[in-house]
Structure 1
Amino acid sequence: MTGSIEQGTSQTHGNTHILHFVVRLPDPMGKVWPALSTQEGLAAWFTPADELEPRLGGAVTLRDLGAGRITAWDVDRVAEYTVEGGGRIRFHLERDGSAGTVLRFTHEFRGEGESEQGWRARFERLIEQLARGM
């Protein structure tokens, strides 16, 4: 079984944009978590994390988005990065059946920013990386 990306949704409230995706992965949460919460994992499919202190309030610098703080951190379940200029990015993992994982993703930002197509391409890379044994 391969992963799948369910239809993304986009909302706009004034100049705030919110993108949501649900990504179903055949891999267990323990295999998916490092892809979302480590420098090596993020660099493999999303963007290099030049700095990442894996804890609530820790510093984070995502090369394509900016520097900021970790604003939610629940090991093996939730990683949320809030960066200046890049907004808030939240990864929330849930079990899906006996072995799979559901990734609920939110990106909230102001002004011009990421598109649904951009995130869809990133999630396709994530699925490929996990299939290769990331």
Structure 2
Amino acid sequence: MTGSIEQGTSRTDGNTHLLHFLVRIPRPMEKVWPAVATPEGLAGWFTQADVLEPRLGGAVTLRGLGEGRVTAWDVDRVAEYTLEGDRIRFHLERDGDTASTLRFTHEFRGGQETESRWRTRFEKLIESVAVP
């Protein structure tokens, strides 16, 4: 099974933009979680996490996005970071015994992010966790 980025939707409400993706990853949740919830994992496909306190309410600083807080944290399932007006949510679900589905949301103001930019990032994510 190969990974796939099956769904990407974009919605704008005033100055607020919402991007949603459904990403199928051919690795179990336990192998994908570190890629979205640790500084080392995030740096491998997305951006440097200069600060990441892995708990609800913990501090987080993501390079290029700013400082904020961990606004949702359910180990091995949900990591959500709210940074200076941006909200980035990673929600992992089991997809059989050997794969995962990532439900991703990025809420932001302004026009700095695009669907194609996130697709490129998700391709890197799939590659980064592909090694057993």
> TM-score when scaled to structure 2?
0.97
Decide whether the 8 Å contact of 2:50 with 2:62 is kept in 1. yes
Mean Cα deviation higher: 76-85 or 38-47: 76-85
TM-superposed CA distance for 1:12, in Å, is 0.4
**What does residue 33 of structure 1 align with?**
33
**What does residue 60 of structure 1 align with?**
60
Q: Which amino acid aligns with 2:101?
A: V
**What does residue 118 of structure 1 align with?**
117
TM-superposed CA distance for 1:98, in Å, is 2.1
Query: Unmatched 5+ residue regions in structure 2?
Result: none
TM-superposed CA distance for 1:111, in Å, is 1.4
Pairwise CA RMSD: 0.9
**What does residue 90 of structure 2 align with?**
91
Q: Deviations over 1:24-76 (max 9, x none)?
A: 01100000000000000000000000000000000000002111000000000
Deviant stretches of 4+, over 4 Å: none
Mean Cα deviation higher: 73-82 or 106-115: 106-115
Q: Which amino acid aligns with 1:122?
A: R
Query: Unmatched 5+ residue regions in structure 1?
Result: none
**What does residue 71 of structure 1 align with?**
71
Secondary structure of the corresponding residue to residue 56 of structure 1: coil
Aligned residues: 132
Decide whether the 8 Å contact of 2:37 with 2:54 is kept in 1. yes
Percent identity (aligned): 74
The aligned runs of 1:7-22 (5 Å cut-off) are: 7-22=7-22
**What does residue 2 of structure 2 align with?**
2
Secondary structure of the corresponding residue to residue 8 of structure 1: strand
2:51 and 2:97 map into 1 onto residues whose CA distance is 34
**What does residue 129 of structure 2 align with?**
130
Q: Which amino acid aligns with 2:75?
A: V
Q: Which amino acid aligns with 2:121?
A: R
2:66 and 2:115 map into 1 onto residues whose CA distance is 19
2:114 and 2:96 map into 1 onto residues whose CA distance is 30
Q: Deviations over 1:70-110 (max 9, x none)?
A: 0000000000000015x000000001112210000000011
Secondary structure of the corresponding residue to residue 102 of structure 2: strand
